[in-house]
Amino acid sequence: MEKLRIGIDCQYLLSNSPAGPERYASCLISALSEIDSINEYTLFFKKIPEPEFLGKLTHSAPNFNFKAIPSSVSWTQYGLAKELLKNPINVFFSPFHTLPFLAVRRLSNLRRTRFVSMIHGLEYDYEHKNLLKKCRLNFLLRNTVRYSDKVLVPAEHTKKALLKKAWVKDEFKITVVPEGVAPGFKKYPFNEVLPVLEKYDLDKTPYLIFISTIQPRKNVPNLIGGFARSLKTGGIMEDTKLVLVGGEGWDYEESLRAPEKYNVTENALFTGRIPDEDLTRLLSGAKAYVSVSLEEGFGLSLLEAMSSKVPCVISDIPSYRDLAKENAIYVNPKSIESISNGICKALNHPNVSVEKAYEQSQKYSWRTTARKTLEVFRSF
Protein backbone atom coordinates (compact mmCIF):
# COMPACT_ATOMS: atom_id res chain seq x y z
CA MET A 1 0.00 0.00 0.00
CA GLU A 2 1.37 3.40 -1.04
CA LYS A 3 2.39 5.66 1.82
CA LEU A 4 0.46 8.94 1.84
CA ARG A 5 1.63 12.32 3.07
CA ILE A 6 -1.38 13.76 4.89
CA GLY A 7 -1.69 17.28 6.26
CA ILE A 8 -4.27 18.41 8.83
CA ASP A 9 -5.29 21.97 9.67
CA CYS A 10 -4.75 22.36 13.44
CA GLN A 11 -4.80 26.17 13.60
CA TYR A 12 -7.40 26.32 16.41
CA LEU A 13 -6.27 23.40 18.55
CA LEU A 14 -4.22 25.64 20.86
CA SER A 15 -7.22 27.88 21.58
CA ASN A 16 -8.00 28.63 25.23
CA SER A 17 -11.70 28.03 24.56
CA PRO A 18 -12.00 25.11 22.12
CA ALA A 19 -15.48 24.39 20.77
CA GLY A 20 -17.02 21.44 18.93
CA PRO A 21 -14.80 21.45 15.81
CA GLU A 22 -11.67 21.63 17.99
CA ARG A 23 -12.84 18.67 20.09
CA TYR A 24 -13.62 16.75 16.92
CA ALA A 25 -10.18 17.46 15.42
CA SER A 26 -8.35 16.50 18.61
CA CYS A 27 -10.24 13.22 19.04
CA LEU A 28 -9.84 12.30 15.38
CA ILE A 29 -6.08 12.98 15.32
CA SER A 30 -5.64 10.99 18.53
CA ALA A 31 -7.53 8.03 17.05
CA LEU A 32 -5.64 8.24 13.74
CA SER A 33 -2.35 8.06 15.64
CA GLU A 34 -3.56 4.85 17.28
CA ILE A 35 -4.69 3.04 14.13
CA ASP A 36 -2.32 4.30 11.41
CA SER A 37 1.43 3.72 11.62
CA ILE A 38 2.00 3.72 7.85
CA ASN A 39 1.12 7.15 6.48
CA GLU A 40 3.02 10.33 7.32
CA TYR A 41 1.09 13.16 8.96
CA THR A 42 1.93 16.84 9.24
CA LEU A 43 -0.13 18.89 11.68
CA PHE A 44 -0.21 22.58 10.74
CA PHE A 45 -0.30 25.03 13.67
CA LYS A 46 -0.09 28.80 13.99
CA LYS A 47 2.64 28.45 16.61
CA ILE A 48 4.86 25.77 18.08
CA PRO A 49 2.82 23.48 20.38
CA GLU A 50 4.20 22.35 23.72
CA PRO A 51 5.84 18.88 23.51
CA GLU A 52 3.51 17.60 26.22
CA PHE A 53 0.45 18.73 24.26
CA LEU A 54 1.70 17.16 21.05
CA GLY A 55 2.66 13.92 22.77
CA LYS A 56 -0.79 13.58 24.31
CA LEU A 57 -2.54 14.48 21.05
CA THR A 58 -0.66 11.92 18.92
CA HIS A 59 0.43 9.36 21.56
CA SER A 60 3.96 10.31 20.46
CA ALA A 61 3.51 8.35 17.24
CA PRO A 62 6.69 8.71 15.13
CA ASN A 63 4.76 9.23 11.87
CA PHE A 64 3.06 12.37 13.24
CA ASN A 65 4.95 15.66 12.95
CA PHE A 66 4.01 19.31 13.22
CA LYS A 67 4.82 22.48 11.35
CA ALA A 68 4.27 25.95 12.77
CA ILE A 69 3.41 28.50 10.08
CA PRO A 70 3.88 32.16 11.04
CA SER A 71 1.79 34.66 9.12
CA SER A 72 1.18 38.35 9.70
CA VAL A 73 -1.81 38.35 7.35
CA SER A 74 -4.45 35.67 6.76
CA TRP A 75 -3.02 32.43 8.17
CA THR A 76 -5.21 30.19 6.03
CA GLN A 77 -5.35 32.12 2.78
CA TYR A 78 -1.71 33.25 2.77
CA GLY A 79 0.50 31.39 5.27
CA LEU A 80 -1.00 27.93 4.86
CA ALA A 81 -1.53 28.38 1.11
CA LYS A 82 2.11 29.37 0.63
CA GLU A 83 3.29 26.31 2.61
CA LEU A 84 1.15 23.88 0.60
CA LEU A 85 2.25 25.37 -2.71
CA LYS A 86 5.89 25.16 -1.67
CA ASN A 87 5.67 21.65 -0.18
CA PRO A 88 2.69 19.79 -1.72
CA ILE A 89 1.30 16.76 0.06
CA ASN A 90 -1.01 13.97 -1.10
CA VAL A 91 -4.05 14.82 1.02
CA PHE A 92 -4.96 17.93 2.99
CA PHE A 93 -7.77 17.74 5.55
CA SER A 94 -9.62 20.66 7.13
CA PRO A 95 -11.98 20.18 10.08
CA PHE A 96 -12.82 23.92 10.29
CA HIS A 97 -15.14 24.82 7.38
CA THR A 98 -12.42 26.60 5.43
CA LEU A 99 -9.64 25.92 2.92
CA PRO A 100 -6.71 27.91 1.46
CA PHE A 101 -8.65 28.54 -1.73
CA LEU A 102 -5.83 29.84 -3.99
CA ALA A 103 -3.67 26.83 -3.18
CA VAL A 104 -6.63 24.52 -3.69
CA ARG A 105 -7.34 25.80 -7.19
CA ARG A 106 -3.73 25.52 -8.34
CA LEU A 107 -2.87 22.20 -6.69
CA SER A 108 -6.18 20.55 -7.63
CA ASN A 109 -5.72 21.52 -11.28
CA LEU A 110 -2.27 19.95 -11.19
CA ARG A 111 -3.71 16.95 -9.30
CA ARG A 112 -0.86 17.26 -6.83
CA THR A 113 -2.92 17.51 -3.65
CA ARG A 114 -6.42 16.28 -2.84
CA PHE A 115 -8.51 18.32 -0.43
CA VAL A 116 -10.95 16.87 2.10
CA SER A 117 -13.09 18.94 4.45
CA MET A 118 -15.42 18.15 7.33
CA ILE A 119 -18.68 20.10 7.32
CA HIS A 120 -20.10 19.75 10.82
CA GLY A 121 -23.45 21.34 9.99
CA LEU A 122 -25.24 24.29 8.41
CA GLU A 123 -26.00 26.16 11.60
CA TYR A 124 -24.64 29.51 10.43
CA ASP A 125 -28.17 30.92 10.04
CA TYR A 126 -28.39 30.85 13.84
CA GLU A 127 -24.84 31.90 14.55
CA HIS A 128 -24.90 35.67 14.22
CA LYS A 129 -27.45 38.47 14.18
CA ASN A 130 -24.97 40.44 12.10
CA LEU A 131 -25.86 40.03 8.40
CA LEU A 132 -22.28 40.64 7.25
CA LYS A 133 -20.99 37.82 9.47
CA LYS A 134 -23.69 35.49 8.15
CA CYS A 135 -22.71 36.32 4.58
CA ARG A 136 -19.05 35.69 5.37
CA LEU A 137 -19.80 32.31 6.95
CA ASN A 138 -22.00 31.38 4.01
CA PHE A 139 -19.23 32.34 1.55
CA LEU A 140 -16.58 30.31 3.37
CA LEU A 141 -18.80 27.27 3.76
CA ARG A 142 -20.06 27.31 0.18
CA ASN A 143 -16.58 27.59 -1.28
CA THR A 144 -15.13 25.00 1.08
CA VAL A 145 -17.73 22.54 -0.20
CA ARG A 146 -17.18 23.64 -3.80
CA TYR A 147 -13.39 23.31 -3.79
CA SER A 148 -13.11 20.12 -1.73
CA ASP A 149 -12.47 16.90 -3.61
CA LYS A 150 -14.33 15.04 -0.87
CA VAL A 151 -16.65 16.33 1.85
CA LEU A 152 -17.21 14.55 5.14
CA VAL A 153 -20.37 15.13 7.18
CA PRO A 154 -21.27 13.63 10.57
CA ALA A 155 -24.87 12.64 9.76
CA GLU A 156 -27.34 11.97 6.93
CA HIS A 157 -29.24 15.07 8.07
CA THR A 158 -26.26 17.26 7.17
CA LYS A 159 -25.75 15.48 3.84
CA LYS A 160 -29.36 16.13 2.87
CA ALA A 161 -29.04 19.78 3.90
CA LEU A 162 -25.95 20.20 1.69
CA LEU A 163 -27.64 18.56 -1.27
CA LYS A 164 -30.66 20.82 -0.79
CA LYS A 165 -28.34 23.83 -1.03
CA ALA A 166 -27.24 22.50 -4.45
CA TRP A 167 -23.60 23.26 -3.64
CA VAL A 168 -22.68 19.70 -4.62
CA LYS A 169 -23.52 18.29 -8.05
CA ASP A 170 -22.40 14.75 -7.27
CA GLU A 171 -23.79 13.32 -4.04
CA PHE A 172 -21.00 10.72 -4.02
CA LYS A 173 -18.63 13.57 -3.20
CA ILE A 174 -20.18 13.54 0.30
CA THR A 175 -19.39 10.76 2.78
CA VAL A 176 -21.16 10.37 6.11
CA VAL A 177 -18.64 9.72 8.88
CA PRO A 178 -20.22 9.93 12.37
CA GLU A 179 -18.25 11.22 15.32
CA GLY A 180 -17.38 9.01 18.30
CA VAL A 181 -17.55 8.87 22.05
CA ALA A 182 -14.35 8.83 24.09
CA PRO A 183 -13.82 6.07 26.72
CA GLY A 184 -13.73 8.67 29.52
CA PHE A 185 -17.47 9.26 29.21
CA LYS A 186 -19.08 6.59 31.37
CA LYS A 187 -21.01 6.15 34.60
CA TYR A 188 -18.56 6.68 37.47
CA PRO A 189 -18.97 5.41 41.04
CA PHE A 190 -20.09 8.14 43.42
CA ASN A 191 -16.79 8.22 45.32
CA GLU A 192 -15.04 9.28 42.09
CA VAL A 193 -17.68 11.91 41.32
CA LEU A 194 -17.89 13.47 44.80
CA PRO A 195 -14.57 15.41 44.76
CA VAL A 196 -15.63 17.16 41.56
CA LEU A 197 -19.09 17.90 42.96
CA GLU A 198 -17.45 19.48 46.00
CA LYS A 199 -15.18 21.53 43.76
CA TYR A 200 -18.21 23.15 42.09
CA ASP A 201 -20.35 23.24 45.27
CA LEU A 202 -22.79 20.69 43.88
CA ASP A 203 -22.41 17.92 46.44
CA LYS A 204 -25.59 18.77 48.34
CA THR A 205 -28.01 19.49 45.53
CA PRO A 206 -29.42 17.74 42.44
CA TYR A 207 -28.52 19.34 39.14
CA LEU A 208 -29.14 19.28 35.41
CA ILE A 209 -26.25 19.79 33.00
CA PHE A 210 -25.97 21.62 29.69
CA ILE A 211 -22.70 21.36 27.71
CA SER A 212 -21.87 23.67 24.84
CA THR A 213 -20.37 26.96 23.77
CA ILE A 214 -22.90 29.69 24.58
CA GLN A 215 -24.34 31.02 21.31
CA PRO A 216 -27.83 31.82 19.93
CA ARG A 217 -28.71 28.50 18.29
CA LYS A 218 -28.17 26.71 21.60
CA ASN A 219 -31.38 28.38 22.76
CA VAL A 220 -30.18 28.89 26.34
CA PRO A 221 -32.79 31.55 27.28
CA ASN A 222 -35.63 29.13 26.53
CA LEU A 223 -33.81 26.36 28.40
CA ILE A 224 -33.52 28.58 31.48
CA GLY A 225 -37.14 29.64 31.06
CA GLY A 226 -38.27 26.01 31.03
CA PHE A 227 -36.07 25.22 34.03
CA ALA A 228 -37.53 28.20 35.93
CA ARG A 229 -41.07 27.05 35.16
CA SER A 230 -40.26 23.58 36.53
CA LEU A 231 -39.10 25.15 39.79
CA LYS A 232 -42.10 27.47 40.00
CA THR A 233 -44.68 24.72 39.44
CA GLY A 234 -43.03 22.41 41.96
CA GLY A 235 -42.30 19.83 39.29
CA ILE A 236 -38.72 19.53 40.57
CA MET A 237 -37.04 20.13 43.94
CA GLU A 238 -36.59 23.82 44.72
CA ASP A 239 -32.84 23.48 45.31
CA THR A 240 -32.20 21.87 41.90
CA LYS A 241 -29.53 23.65 39.88
CA LEU A 242 -28.92 24.06 36.19
CA VAL A 243 -25.20 23.81 35.42
CA LEU A 244 -24.19 25.34 32.09
CA VAL A 245 -20.75 24.17 31.00
CA GLY A 246 -19.03 25.89 28.10
CA GLY A 247 -17.26 29.03 27.01
CA GLU A 248 -18.83 32.22 25.70
CA GLY A 249 -19.13 32.15 21.94
CA TRP A 250 -20.92 35.06 20.27
CA ASP A 251 -24.14 36.97 20.93
CA TYR A 252 -24.16 35.30 24.33
CA GLU A 253 -25.36 38.27 26.39
CA GLU A 254 -29.05 37.32 26.31
CA SER A 255 -28.17 33.86 27.62
CA LEU A 256 -26.20 35.29 30.55
CA ARG A 257 -29.07 37.63 31.43
CA ALA A 258 -31.71 34.88 31.32
CA PRO A 259 -31.34 33.69 34.98
CA GLU A 260 -32.10 37.19 36.21
CA LYS A 261 -35.01 37.52 33.76
CA TYR A 262 -36.59 34.32 35.08
CA ASN A 263 -35.59 34.91 38.70
CA VAL A 264 -33.38 31.81 39.03
CA THR A 265 -29.98 33.42 39.59
CA GLU A 266 -29.39 31.22 42.66
CA ASN A 267 -30.15 28.07 40.71
CA ALA A 268 -28.21 28.68 37.48
CA LEU A 269 -24.45 28.15 37.38
CA PHE A 270 -22.32 29.16 34.38
CA THR A 271 -18.99 27.36 34.83
CA GLY A 272 -17.26 28.38 31.60
CA ARG A 273 -15.09 25.72 30.02
CA ILE A 274 -13.83 23.12 32.51
CA PRO A 275 -11.13 20.39 32.37
CA ASP A 276 -12.15 17.17 30.63
CA GLU A 277 -11.65 15.12 33.78
CA ASP A 278 -14.11 17.38 35.61
CA LEU A 279 -16.58 17.28 32.73
CA THR A 280 -16.82 13.49 32.63
CA ARG A 281 -17.55 13.33 36.37
CA LEU A 282 -20.01 16.24 36.38
CA LEU A 283 -21.88 14.65 33.49
CA SER A 284 -21.95 11.28 35.21
CA GLY A 285 -23.36 12.81 38.41
CA ALA A 286 -26.12 14.86 36.74
CA LYS A 287 -29.79 14.02 37.17
CA ALA A 288 -30.32 14.80 33.49
CA TYR A 289 -28.57 16.18 30.43
CA VAL A 290 -30.50 19.00 28.76
CA SER A 291 -30.08 20.52 25.30
CA VAL A 292 -32.79 22.42 23.45
CA SER A 293 -30.73 23.53 20.45
CA LEU A 294 -32.54 24.89 17.44
CA GLU A 295 -30.12 23.17 15.07
CA GLU A 296 -27.25 20.66 15.36
CA GLY A 297 -25.11 18.95 12.77
CA PHE A 298 -24.48 15.95 15.02
CA GLY A 299 -24.75 16.13 18.82
CA LEU A 300 -21.49 14.98 20.39
CA SER A 301 -22.39 16.05 23.94
CA LEU A 302 -25.67 14.15 23.65
CA LEU A 303 -23.75 11.03 22.64
CA GLU A 304 -21.43 11.49 25.63
CA ALA A 305 -24.42 11.87 27.97
CA MET A 306 -25.94 8.66 26.60
CA SER A 307 -22.64 6.88 27.22
CA SER A 308 -22.64 8.25 30.79
CA LYS A 309 -26.10 6.72 31.42
CA VAL A 310 -27.71 10.08 32.10
CA PRO A 311 -31.37 10.74 31.13
CA CYS A 312 -31.52 13.13 28.18
CA VAL A 313 -33.99 15.96 27.59
CA ILE A 314 -33.42 17.20 24.05
CA SER A 315 -34.88 19.10 21.12
CA ASP A 316 -36.98 17.19 18.66
CA ILE A 317 -34.64 17.85 15.73
CA PRO A 318 -33.39 15.38 13.07
CA SER A 319 -29.78 15.10 14.23
CA TYR A 320 -30.83 14.25 17.79
CA ARG A 321 -33.45 11.76 16.57
CA ASP A 322 -30.78 10.03 14.49
CA LEU A 323 -28.56 9.60 17.55
CA ALA A 324 -30.90 8.86 20.43
CA LYS A 325 -33.73 7.14 18.52
CA GLU A 326 -36.60 6.63 21.00
CA ASN A 327 -34.26 6.62 24.01
CA ALA A 328 -34.63 10.24 25.13
CA ILE A 329 -37.25 12.76 26.18
CA TYR A 330 -37.99 15.06 23.24
CA VAL A 331 -39.29 18.60 23.62
CA ASN A 332 -40.29 21.51 21.43
CA PRO A 333 -37.30 23.89 21.73
CA LYS A 334 -39.53 26.92 21.08
CA SER A 335 -41.95 26.07 23.90
CA ILE A 336 -40.97 26.85 27.49
CA GLU A 337 -43.86 24.69 28.70
CA SER A 338 -42.68 21.70 26.65
CA ILE A 339 -39.12 22.11 27.96
CA SER A 340 -40.43 22.31 31.52
CA ASN A 341 -42.54 19.18 31.10
CA GLY A 342 -39.52 17.31 29.72
CA ILE A 343 -37.33 18.33 32.66
CA CYS A 344 -39.99 17.26 35.16
CA LYS A 345 -40.41 13.91 33.43
CA ALA A 346 -36.67 13.23 33.47
CA LEU A 347 -36.27 14.02 37.16
CA ASN A 348 -39.37 12.11 38.23
CA HIS A 349 -38.62 9.07 36.05
CA PRO A 350 -34.80 9.05 36.11
CA ASN A 351 -34.22 5.61 34.59
CA VAL A 352 -36.24 6.21 31.43
CA SER A 353 -34.40 4.69 28.44
CA VAL A 354 -30.98 5.06 30.10
CA GLU A 355 -29.71 1.54 29.43
CA LYS A 356 -30.97 1.47 25.86
CA ALA A 357 -29.46 4.90 25.23
CA TYR A 358 -26.15 3.60 26.55
CA GLU A 359 -26.29 0.61 24.19
CA GLN A 360 -27.01 2.98 21.30
CA SER A 361 -24.03 5.20 22.20
CA GLN A 362 -21.63 2.26 22.09
CA LYS A 363 -22.13 1.99 18.34
CA TYR A 364 -19.95 5.09 17.99
CA SER A 365 -16.21 5.26 18.62
CA TRP A 366 -13.41 7.58 17.53
CA ARG A 367 -11.43 4.63 16.18
CA THR A 368 -14.31 3.85 13.83
CA THR A 369 -14.43 7.53 12.84
CA ALA A 370 -10.70 7.45 12.16
CA ARG A 371 -10.90 4.26 10.06
CA LYS A 372 -13.71 5.65 7.90
CA THR A 373 -11.88 8.97 7.49
CA LEU A 374 -8.71 7.16 6.47
CA GLU A 375 -10.67 5.24 3.86
CA VAL A 376 -11.65 8.55 2.29
CA PHE A 377 -8.03 9.74 2.33
CA ARG A 378 -7.02 6.56 0.50
CA SER A 379 -9.86 6.71 -2.02
CA PHE A 380 -8.15 9.03 -4.54
The pLDDT profile of the chain, 380 residues, written as one tens digit per residue, is 789 999 999 999 998 777 888 999 999 999 999 999 999 999 999 999 999 999 999 999 999 999 999 887 889 999 999 999 899 999 999 999 889 987 777 666 666 899 999 999 887 665 556 667 677 777 888 889 988 999 999 999 899 988 988 888 888 999 999 999 998 999 999 999 999 999 999 999 999 999 999 989 999 999 999 999 999 998 899 999 999 999 888 888 999 999 999 999 999 999 999 999 999 999 999 999 999 999 998 999 999 999 999 999 999 999 999 999 999 999 999 999 999 999 999 998 766 689 999 999 999 999 999 999 999 999 98
Q: Quick one: how far is CA 330 from the chain centroid?
A: 20
Q: In what order do the strands lie in the sheet with 114-118?
A: 64-68, 40-45, 5-9, 91-94, 114-118, 150-153, 174-176
Whether residue 246 is contained in a domain is answered as yes
Rounded Cα–Cα distance for residues 116 and 155 (Å): 16
pTM over 0.85: yes
In sequence order, the 6+-apart residues with CB closer than 8 A to the CB of 374 are 32, 35, 36, 39
131 located within any domain: yes
Q: Check: CB of residue 185 under 8 Å from CB of residue 280.
A: yes
Residue 149 lies in a domain: yes
Considering the domain architecture, whether residues 66 and 88 belong to the same structural domain is answered as yes
Asked, for residue 161, whether it belongs to a domain, the answer is: yes
Helix-helix angle 20-35:51-58, to 10 degrees: 70
Same domain for 146 and 54: yes
φ, ψ of residue 184 to 5 degrees: the values are -70, -15
Q: Which long-range contacts (CB under 8 A, 24 or more apart) does 167-170 make?
A: 167/142
Across-strand partners of 150? Answer: 116
Residues 27 and 366: beta-carbon distance below 8 Å: yes
The pLDDT of residue 293: 96
Q: Is residue 118 part of a domain?
A: yes
Q: Domains in the chain: how many in total?
A: 2
**Strand stretches in 165-254, DSSP E:** 174-176, 207-211, 241-245
215 with 312, same domain?
yes
Residue 122 structural domain: 5-180+365-377
Judge whether 95 lies within some domain: yes
Q: 216 and 122 share a domain?
A: no
Q: Do 130 and 218 fall within a single domain?
A: no
Q: How far apart are CA 27 and CA 216, in angstroms?
A: 26
104 Cβ contact partners less than 8 Å away, ≥ 6 residues apart: 115, 147
Residue 185 lies in a domain: no
CATH number at residue 233: 3.40.50.2000
9 and 49 belong to one structural domain: yes
Alpha carbon distance 360, 379 (integer Å): 29
Confirm if 71 and 35 have CB atoms less than 8 A apart: no
Residues 308, 195 within the same domain: yes
160/324 Cα distance (integer angstroms): 19
Residues 356, 369 within the same domain: no
Examine the domain organization and report whether 151 and 205 are in the same domain. Answer: no
227 and 109 in one domain?
no
Q: Identify whether residues 328 and 224 lie together within a single domain.
A: yes
Q: Helix, strand, or coil here: 296? A: coil
Counting DSSP H helices and E strands in the chain, the numbers are 16, 13
Residue 141 lies in a domain: yes
Q: Is there a single domain that holds both residue 335 and residue 300? A: yes
Give the integer Cα–Cα distance in Å for 367 and 35. Answer: 7
Cα 105 from Cα 204, distance rounded (Å)? 59
What's the rounded Cα separation, in Å, for the pair 333 and 341? 12
The predicted structure's pLDDT at residue 105: 72
DSSP 8-class letter at 172: G
